[in-house]
Amino acid sequence: MHIARLIIVTFCLMAAPAAAQWLKYPTTGIPRTSDGKPNLSAPAPRTADGKPDLSGLWRPAAILIGDIAANLPPGSVPFQPWAEKLYKQRVETHGKDDPTARCIVGGTPRSDLVPYPFKVLQNPGLVVILYEAVHSYRQIFADGRELPKDPNPTWFGYSVGRWHGDTFVVETAGFNDEGWLDNFGKPSTDQLHVTERFRRKDFGHMDIEITINDPKAYTKPWTVTLPLVLQPDTELLEYICNENNKYLELVPSAGK
Protein backbone atom coordinates (compact mmCIF):
# COMPACT_ATOMS: atom_id res chain seq x y z
CA MET A 1 0.00 0.00 0.00
CA HIS A 2 2.81 2.38 0.84
CA ILE A 3 4.40 1.77 -2.57
CA ALA A 4 1.16 2.54 -4.40
CA ARG A 5 0.69 5.65 -2.30
CA LEU A 6 4.23 6.79 -3.04
CA ILE A 7 3.68 6.35 -6.78
CA ILE A 8 0.54 8.47 -6.66
CA VAL A 9 2.25 11.13 -4.56
CA THR A 10 5.07 11.24 -7.09
CA PHE A 11 2.59 11.92 -9.90
CA CYS A 12 0.93 14.56 -7.77
CA LEU A 13 4.25 16.29 -7.20
CA MET A 14 4.84 16.27 -10.95
CA ALA A 15 2.41 19.17 -11.17
CA ALA A 16 5.41 21.40 -11.73
CA PRO A 17 6.75 21.30 -15.32
CA ALA A 18 9.08 18.32 -15.25
CA ALA A 19 10.91 19.25 -18.46
CA ALA A 20 12.02 22.64 -17.18
CA GLN A 21 15.56 22.79 -15.79
CA TRP A 22 17.74 25.73 -14.90
CA LEU A 23 21.07 25.95 -16.65
CA LYS A 24 23.81 25.15 -14.17
CA TYR A 25 25.39 28.35 -12.93
CA PRO A 26 28.12 28.43 -10.28
CA THR A 27 26.78 29.61 -6.93
CA THR A 28 28.96 32.35 -5.49
CA GLY A 29 30.64 31.80 -2.14
CA ILE A 30 30.80 28.01 -2.36
CA PRO A 31 34.20 26.44 -1.60
CA ARG A 32 35.46 24.23 -4.40
CA THR A 33 37.95 21.45 -4.87
CA SER A 34 40.88 21.72 -7.27
CA ASP A 35 38.71 20.37 -10.12
CA GLY A 36 36.07 23.07 -9.57
CA LYS A 37 33.46 20.87 -7.93
CA PRO A 38 31.63 22.12 -4.81
CA ASN A 39 33.40 21.05 -1.63
CA LEU A 40 30.42 20.02 0.49
CA SER A 41 32.64 18.79 3.33
CA ALA A 42 34.22 22.22 3.88
CA PRO A 43 33.51 23.96 7.21
CA ALA A 44 30.07 25.49 7.66
CA PRO A 45 29.93 29.22 6.88
CA ARG A 46 29.26 31.73 9.63
CA THR A 47 27.60 35.12 9.79
CA ALA A 48 29.26 38.31 10.98
CA ASP A 49 28.14 37.60 14.57
CA GLY A 50 29.75 34.16 14.52
CA LYS A 51 26.57 32.09 14.22
CA PRO A 52 26.35 29.29 11.65
CA ASP A 53 24.81 30.55 8.42
CA LEU A 54 21.93 28.26 7.48
CA SER A 55 21.41 29.98 4.12
CA GLY A 56 21.42 27.91 0.97
CA LEU A 57 19.36 25.73 -1.32
CA TRP A 58 18.58 22.44 0.44
CA ARG A 59 16.90 19.15 -0.36
CA PRO A 60 15.90 16.38 2.08
CA ALA A 61 17.79 13.11 2.03
CA ALA A 62 15.76 10.35 0.40
CA ILE A 63 15.24 8.39 3.61
CA LEU A 64 12.43 10.64 4.91
CA ILE A 65 10.86 11.78 1.65
CA GLY A 66 7.14 11.33 2.06
CA ASP A 67 7.23 9.53 5.43
CA ILE A 68 8.34 11.49 8.48
CA ALA A 69 8.73 8.26 10.48
CA ALA A 70 10.75 6.37 7.86
CA ASN A 71 13.82 6.00 10.08
CA LEU A 72 11.88 5.05 13.22
CA PRO A 73 11.25 1.43 14.27
CA PRO A 74 7.90 0.09 12.97
CA GLY A 75 5.02 0.85 15.29
CA SER A 76 6.90 3.48 17.27
CA VAL A 77 4.73 6.48 16.33
CA PRO A 78 2.59 7.02 19.47
CA PHE A 79 -0.79 7.53 17.82
CA GLN A 80 -3.96 8.24 19.74
CA PRO A 81 -6.45 5.50 18.67
CA TRP A 82 -8.53 7.80 16.46
CA ALA A 83 -5.41 9.22 14.78
CA GLU A 84 -4.04 5.77 13.98
CA LYS A 85 -7.38 4.73 12.51
CA LEU A 86 -7.49 7.85 10.33
CA TYR A 87 -3.87 7.37 9.27
CA LYS A 88 -4.51 3.77 8.17
CA GLN A 89 -7.62 4.87 6.30
CA ARG A 90 -5.63 7.50 4.41
CA VAL A 91 -3.00 4.91 3.47
CA GLU A 92 -5.64 2.43 2.29
CA THR A 93 -7.40 5.07 0.16
CA HIS A 94 -4.09 6.33 -1.27
CA GLY A 95 -4.54 9.76 0.27
CA LYS A 96 -7.66 10.70 -1.68
CA ASP A 97 -8.34 13.56 0.76
CA ASP A 98 -4.80 14.91 0.65
CA PRO A 99 -4.95 18.74 0.84
CA THR A 100 -2.04 19.03 -1.59
CA ALA A 101 -4.23 17.34 -4.23
CA ARG A 102 -6.11 20.64 -4.23
CA CYS A 103 -2.85 22.58 -4.48
CA ILE A 104 -2.88 23.60 -0.81
CA VAL A 105 0.50 24.04 0.86
CA GLY A 106 2.00 21.17 2.84
CA GLY A 107 2.73 23.28 5.91
CA THR A 108 5.13 22.49 8.74
CA PRO A 109 6.91 20.06 8.78
CA ARG A 110 5.55 18.36 5.66
CA SER A 111 6.93 20.91 3.20
CA ASP A 112 10.45 19.88 4.25
CA LEU A 113 9.78 16.23 3.37
CA VAL A 114 8.89 16.40 -0.32
CA PRO A 115 11.46 15.80 -3.10
CA TYR A 116 11.71 19.47 -4.00
CA PRO A 117 14.36 21.92 -2.82
CA PHE A 118 13.81 24.88 -0.55
CA LYS A 119 15.93 27.98 -0.02
CA VAL A 120 16.84 29.24 3.45
CA LEU A 121 17.51 32.98 3.68
CA GLN A 122 19.03 33.90 7.04
CA ASN A 123 18.85 37.53 8.08
CA PRO A 124 19.27 39.21 11.48
CA GLY A 125 15.92 38.87 13.21
CA LEU A 126 14.23 36.86 10.47
CA VAL A 127 14.80 33.57 8.66
CA VAL A 128 12.73 32.98 5.53
CA ILE A 129 12.28 29.62 3.81
CA LEU A 130 11.19 29.63 0.16
CA TYR A 131 9.69 26.31 -0.92
CA GLU A 132 9.67 25.26 -4.55
CA ALA A 133 6.72 22.95 -3.82
CA VAL A 134 3.44 24.85 -4.31
CA HIS A 135 5.46 28.09 -4.51
CA SER A 136 5.09 28.75 -0.77
CA TYR A 137 7.11 30.43 1.95
CA ARG A 138 7.60 30.40 5.71
CA GLN A 139 8.77 33.09 8.14
CA ILE A 140 10.71 32.34 11.33
CA PHE A 141 10.94 35.40 13.57
CA ALA A 142 14.29 35.55 15.38
CA ASP A 143 14.00 39.01 16.95
CA GLY A 144 13.34 37.83 20.50
CA ARG A 145 9.56 37.76 20.36
CA GLU A 146 7.54 35.05 22.06
CA LEU A 147 4.93 32.82 20.45
CA PRO A 148 1.58 34.65 20.42
CA LYS A 149 -0.95 33.33 22.93
CA ASP A 150 -3.79 33.13 20.42
CA PRO A 151 -2.34 33.05 16.87
CA ASN A 152 -4.45 32.92 13.76
CA PRO A 153 -4.53 29.21 12.74
CA THR A 154 -2.57 28.55 9.55
CA TRP A 155 -0.98 25.68 7.63
CA PHE A 156 2.60 26.67 8.51
CA GLY A 157 1.82 27.95 11.99
CA TYR A 158 3.62 30.84 13.68
CA SER A 159 7.36 30.32 14.18
CA VAL A 160 9.92 31.95 16.47
CA GLY A 161 13.59 31.00 16.62
CA ARG A 162 16.52 31.44 19.01
CA TRP A 163 20.15 30.42 18.96
CA HIS A 164 21.34 27.94 21.55
CA GLY A 165 25.06 27.83 20.82
CA ASP A 166 25.41 26.66 17.21
CA THR A 167 21.87 25.25 17.11
CA PHE A 168 18.94 27.31 15.82
CA VAL A 169 15.89 26.23 17.83
CA VAL A 170 12.50 27.00 16.30
CA GLU A 171 9.16 26.72 18.12
CA THR A 172 6.00 26.67 16.00
CA ALA A 173 2.37 26.71 17.09
CA GLY A 174 -0.90 28.14 15.82
CA PHE A 175 -1.78 25.43 13.32
CA ASN A 176 -5.17 24.70 11.83
CA ASP A 177 -6.51 21.15 12.23
CA GLU A 178 -6.32 20.21 8.54
CA GLY A 179 -2.62 19.55 8.03
CA TRP A 180 -0.92 16.22 7.35
CA LEU A 181 2.50 15.63 8.86
CA ASP A 182 3.66 13.77 5.75
CA ASN A 183 2.51 12.35 2.42
CA PHE A 184 1.15 9.21 4.07
CA GLY A 185 -1.34 11.22 6.09
CA LYS A 186 -0.21 11.20 9.69
CA PRO A 187 -2.75 13.57 11.23
CA SER A 188 -2.26 16.74 13.22
CA THR A 189 -4.63 19.02 15.13
CA ASP A 190 -4.83 22.60 16.30
CA GLN A 191 -2.84 21.55 19.38
CA LEU A 192 0.25 20.73 17.32
CA HIS A 193 3.49 22.25 18.61
CA VAL A 194 6.61 21.61 16.53
CA THR A 195 10.15 22.11 17.83
CA GLU A 196 12.93 22.12 15.23
CA ARG A 197 16.66 22.19 15.89
CA PHE A 198 18.71 23.23 12.87
CA ARG A 199 22.37 22.16 12.93
CA ARG A 200 24.63 22.85 9.96
CA LYS A 201 27.25 20.11 10.21
CA ASP A 202 29.51 21.35 7.41
CA PHE A 203 29.13 23.34 4.23
CA GLY A 204 26.97 20.82 2.43
CA HIS A 205 25.03 19.04 5.17
CA MET A 206 22.47 20.13 7.74
CA ASP A 207 20.20 18.21 10.12
CA ILE A 208 16.79 19.27 11.39
CA GLU A 209 15.73 17.49 14.55
CA ILE A 210 11.92 17.65 14.57
CA THR A 211 9.85 17.03 17.69
CA ILE A 212 6.10 16.56 17.25
CA ASN A 213 3.99 17.42 20.29
CA ASP A 214 0.27 17.11 19.59
CA PRO A 215 -1.59 15.65 22.58
CA LYS A 216 -4.84 15.39 20.65
CA ALA A 217 -3.31 13.10 18.01
CA TYR A 218 -0.38 11.44 19.83
CA THR A 219 0.05 10.04 23.33
CA LYS A 220 3.47 11.67 23.83
CA PRO A 221 5.98 13.85 21.94
CA TRP A 222 8.14 12.06 19.38
CA THR A 223 11.25 13.08 17.51
CA VAL A 224 12.81 12.42 14.11
CA THR A 225 15.92 13.77 12.40
CA LEU A 226 15.75 15.04 8.83
CA PRO A 227 19.12 15.17 7.03
CA LEU A 228 19.49 17.81 4.32
CA VAL A 229 21.99 18.11 1.48
CA LEU A 230 23.00 21.42 -0.11
CA GLN A 231 22.07 21.83 -3.79
CA PRO A 232 24.82 23.98 -5.33
CA ASP A 233 24.90 25.63 -8.73
CA THR A 234 21.14 25.64 -9.29
CA GLU A 235 18.03 27.62 -8.31
CA LEU A 236 14.37 27.13 -7.46
CA LEU A 237 11.99 26.47 -10.34
CA GLU A 238 8.54 27.95 -10.78
CA TYR A 239 5.90 25.53 -9.48
CA ILE A 240 2.31 26.17 -10.56
CA CYS A 241 0.32 23.31 -9.06
CA ASN A 242 -2.91 23.87 -11.00
CA GLU A 243 -1.13 23.91 -14.34
CA ASN A 244 -0.41 20.17 -14.58
CA ASN A 245 -2.19 18.53 -11.65
CA LYS A 246 -2.45 14.80 -12.43
CA TYR A 247 -3.56 13.75 -8.96
CA LEU A 248 -7.28 14.26 -9.53
CA GLU A 249 -7.05 12.10 -12.66
CA LEU A 250 -5.29 9.28 -10.78
CA VAL A 251 -7.66 9.42 -7.80
CA PRO A 252 -11.01 10.72 -9.12
CA SER A 253 -12.52 10.96 -5.64
CA ALA A 254 -9.70 13.17 -4.34
CA GLY A 255 -10.92 16.34 -2.71
CA LYS A 256 -14.59 15.26 -2.76
* Cβ contact 131:111 at 8 Å: yes
Residue 47: how many CB atoms within 10 A of its CB? 13
CB 44 within 8 A of CB 212: no
- Identify the helix (H) or strand (E) that includes residue 58: strand 56-60
- The C-alpha angle with vertex 213 and arms to 164 and 182, in degrees rounded to 5, equals 100
Q: Where are the domains of the chain?
A: 47-94+108-236
Confidence band, pLDDT 50/70/90 cuts, at residue 10: very low
pLDDT band (50, 70, 90) for residue 66: confident
| pLDDT tens digits, 177-234 | 999 999 999 999 999 999 999 999 999 999 999 999 999 999 999 999 999 999 999 9
Region for 94 from its dihedrals, namely left if φ exceeds 0, alpha if ψ lies in -120 to 50, beta otherwise: left
End-to-end CA distance of the chain: 21
Q: Classify residue 22 by burial, with Cβ atoms within 10 Å: 0-12, 13-18, 19+.
A: exposed
CATH fourth-level superfamily of 47-94+108-236: Calycin beta-barrel core domain (2.40.128.20)
pLDDT of residue 62: 80
pTM: 0.88
DSSP tag of 187: B
- CA 16 vs CA 20, 39, 180, 251: distances in Å: 9, 30, 21, 18
Q: Report residue 251's pLDDT band, with 50, 70 and 90 as the boundaries.
A: low
Provide the pLDDT for residue 22: 61
